[in-house]
Amino acid sequence: MEKNITFDYQRAEEFIKSHELDYLEPYLLQAQEVLHRLEGPGREYAGWVDWPLKYNREEFERIKAAGERIRERAEVLVVIGIGGSYLGARAALELLTHTFYNRLSREERGGPEIYFAGFNMSPIYLEHLLEVIGEKDIWVNVVSKSGTTLEPALAFRVFRDLIEKRRGKEGARERIIATTDKSRGALKKLAEEEGYETFTVPDEVGGRYSLLTPVGLLPIAAGGIDLDKLMAGAEKAYHLCSKKSLAENPSCQYAAIRNLMYRKGKIIELLVSYEPSFYYFTEWWKQLFGESEGKDKKGIFPAGMNFTTDLHSLGQYIQDGYRNLFATTLQVEKPPVDREIFKLQEDMDGLNYLAGKTFHQVNQKAWEGTVMAHTEGGVPNLTLTLPEITPYYFGQLIYFFEKACGLSGYLLGVNPFDQPGVEAYKKNMFRLLGKP
Ligand code: PA5
């Protein structure tokens, strides 16, 4: 039987009093009502709230079919997008496929090599990517809701041109799939004119909440990940995270504790993982919370951490530096693979005391030791545990964080679904570039 992801704040209890949570509960439940009834700030972009129940099944089947087609026919898939139009797919692919996916043989992968482009404007990245791809048959999924974001638009210009030169217009039509607004924007217009297959970024779902829509799902399907299980996990989390009591609702608990931490001056949250395959998951989470909460001169600053790696670089600060931090750890009960440490005849490296233990068990002890040390050092620790790394639990994880983020925004008194601040640099850049 499938289990559920679990949220645990025992290791932060010494930093809060239980009545503080009791006092917050009515506000949280009210925020939840407002969110579900689409009555709060940014309500026009809160369509993700019941998305796991109401997503378009017909389009979902079309995504799976397109994913299969890409897996069978493409040698390389380039996913072009930035921010909310890229991080979710990358998070899923990095977590749920092999760590060295692109280095495996085609038989082992069962699909194309997958690369990302259009999430920066670096000529070095672009040229090196083109070099690595070489003469291989390229398919593209270009993802942009507005269809006008500079980074993906520039990368798409390059890849479209390359495919057309190699395969002609007809070949490009087969190989380019656009995920964009249902009716507006330059990309929609181009896709219509060129006859590309298109998928829709729903009007009612903002970029950073769009992983469970075609934005994330098509590249994820092309990576061979089971979308039915992923959506089933999200639906399960919808039900868990809609419960009307703090004691039963993990998203409400996480939102409540974060808010208490913030009120106590803990203005930086570290999302910690002991598995490097969570790296892009933490990038996705950083955007979700940073762009949702960081406004009106308020908000918790989200920082991603990879332990034990970063304990050897940032560990000193976390243990001993300015005391404005709290940490949330992503834990995995059972990794997909593990390795037992063997005994040496002569204990030359002094590690025989670990013989018989597995790498995962050692990693777990590192976590326990770190949490003890950090708690003593004044860094409260929250834990989110996944039974395993599977599409089902990934779906739960995504919905858990999205829901907690919406609630956190309302508790903080901000609109968690807009991002007015992102425009400031663009205005300057376009002026400097002489955009007409
Ligand atoms: O969350 C957001 O709204 C942003 O990160 C956008 O997703 C990002 O800027 C990309 O925008 P677009 O999909 O319009 O190209």
The reply to whether ligand 1 has any atom less than 6 angstroms from the CB of 185 is no
Q: What digits encode the pLDDT tens for the residues 244-284?
A: 999 999 999 999 999 999 999 999 999 999 999 999 999 99
Spatial neighbors of 2 by CB under 8 A, at least 6 apart, are 236, 392
Q: How far, in Å, is the centroid of ligand 1 from the Cα of 22?
A: 37
Q: What is the pLDDT at residue 29?
A: 97
Which of 149, 209, 213 most suits a substitution to test ligand 1, by most atoms within 8 Å of the C-beta?
A: 149
- Of 82, 201, 203, the one to substitute when testing ligand 1's pocket (max ligand atoms within 8 A of C-beta) is 82
For residue 208 and ligand 1, the question of a CB distance below 6 A is answered with yes
**Cis before 200 (ω within 30):** no
Answer whether 149 contacts ligand 1 (Cβ < 6 A). Answer: yes
- State if pTM tops 0.85: yes
Residue 109: what pLDDT? 98
Q: What is the pLDDT of residue 2?
A: 85
Helices (H) and strands (E) in the chain, counts: 16, 10
Query: Is residue 13 annotated as a catalytic residue, yes or no?
Result: no
**Which positions of the chain have pLDDT values less than 70?**
none
Q: Looking at residue 423, what is its pLDDT?
A: 87
Quote the pLDDT of residue 347: 96
What pLDDT is stored for residue 208 in this prediction?
Answer: 97
d(CA 312, CA 310): 5
| Bridge partners of residue 143, in order along the sequence | 179
* CA–CA distance, 3 with 426 (Å, rounded to integer): 44
Contacts of 350 (CB under 8 A, 6+ apart): none
Ligand 1 centroid to residue 92 C-alpha, Å: 18
Q: Which residue's alpha carbon is at the smallest distance from atom 9 of ligand 1?
A: 83
To the query of whether residue 145 is one of the catalytic residues in this protein, the response is no
What Å distances lie between residue 24 and 13, 62, 257, CA to CA? 15, 44, 9
Answer for the pair 93, 219: CB distance below 8 angstroms, yes or no: yes
For residue 388, the 8-state DSSP code is: E
Q: Ligand 1 atom closest to Cα of 209?
A: 1
**Strands (DSSP E) found in 247-309:** 268-273, 301-306
Instruction: Determine which one of 291, 293, 295, 374 is catalytic.
Output: 291
Catalytic status, residue 239: no
